[in-house]
Amino acid sequence: MMTGANAIRAYTSQEIVPVTPAEKDGKFVPQTVPAYAAQRNFQPIQAAFAGYSYREAALNPTNLANRAQDWEADIINGFRSEPVPERVFERDTPNGPVLYLTRPITVRDEACLTCHTTPAEAPAAMTRAYGVANGFGWKMNETIGAQILSVPMAVPLRLAQTAFQTFLMVVIAVLAVIVIVLNVLLHYLVIRPVARVSRMADAVSLGEPDVEVYVKPGKDEISSLSISFNRMRESLDKAMEMLRG
């Protein structure tokens, strides 16, 4: 949303201003002002989505509708005292908690000073529309305002909840696969070989002839057990033959 607002500002200053006069029929054309264009374009979004807002607040704006409120002035002064690209914070409002993304508005273009240095240098149509008491005295590289974008906290919380639920489902699925794989490995590598050795032991203990020979392939403990049992069975068979002889 902030990128969209900045795109509108850039389009206005680069494409609209060069081909549109600032004055028409003796009246100032506000559409040539990037801040005006960005805020007007955001109004349909604000109307469709409750709680969303975009403002370009200034300490000394030409249009008093853009004058910063006390808490907005604190944001601007914060950017002045500690220049950073942006700040994100949460603020309680009558409609609930709101998440704010703010960026400083700093004078970087000499063209801005044409309208905001002194009333004498400003377009006559602009001073007739907004007066000569506000919006002047700006200087290069001065932070004069801030872009303030707000989104209801319900939005990021819902996104966080969705991300958490997705993560939880992935973890459960991975754990389920691991349990299944472990059970399959346990059955074929441990339970099944031990069961065969157990059946052999029962058959030998009952004196059954021609008991099957089973040696589990590998070098694990079950393999060693099967080899030891077969060696014991062979020794027992030889001992029985000696007794019979």
On whether the CB atoms of residues 33 and 47 are closer than 8 A, the answer is: no
Examine the domain organization and report whether 6 and 63 are in the same domain: yes
The total domain count for the chain is: 2
Q: How far is CA 108 from CA 117, 134, 141, 202, in A?
A: 14, 20, 6, 92
245 falls in which pLDDT band (50, 70, 90)?
Answer: low
Starting from the edge strand earliest in sequence, which strands make up the sheet with 53-58, in order? 53-58, 143-152, 96-106, 87-93
Examine the domain organization and report whether 141 and 211 are in the same domain: no
Examine the domain organization and report whether 114 and 201 are in the same domain: no
- 85-101 pLDDT per residue, tens: 999 999 888 878 899 99
On whether the CB atoms of residues 12 and 32 are closer than 8 A, the answer is: yes
Examine the domain organization and report whether 84 and 176 are in the same domain: no
On whether the CB atoms of residues 107 and 144 are closer than 8 A, the answer is: yes
Examine the domain organization and report whether 187 and 135 are in the same domain: no
Examine the domain organization and report whether 227 and 169 are in the same domain: yes
For the residues 199-226, what does the mean pLDDT come to? 74
For the residues 194-201, what does the mean pLDDT come to? 79
- Looking at 93, 119, 152, the residue that finishes a domain is 152
For the residues 59-78, what does the mean pLDDT come to? 94
CB neighbours of residue 51 within 10 Å: 16
Q: In whole angstroms, what is the distance from residue 26 CA to residue 221 CA?
A: 98
Percent with pLDDT over 70 in the chain: 98
- Looking at 95, 127, 152, the residue that finishes a domain is 152
How does the average pLDDT of the chain come out, rounded? 87
Examine the domain organization and report whether 134 and 17 are in the same domain: yes
Examine the domain organization and report whether 53 and 79 are in the same domain: yes
CATH number of the domain that 143 lies in? 3.30.450
Domain of 230?
161-244
209 falls in which pLDDT band (50, 70, 90)?
Answer: low
3-state secondary structure of 129: helix
- Looking at 105, 125, 152, the residue that finishes a domain is 152
What pTM, to 2 d.p., does this model score?
A: 0.64
Q: In whole angstroms, what is the distance from residue 155 CA to residue 46 CA?
A: 14
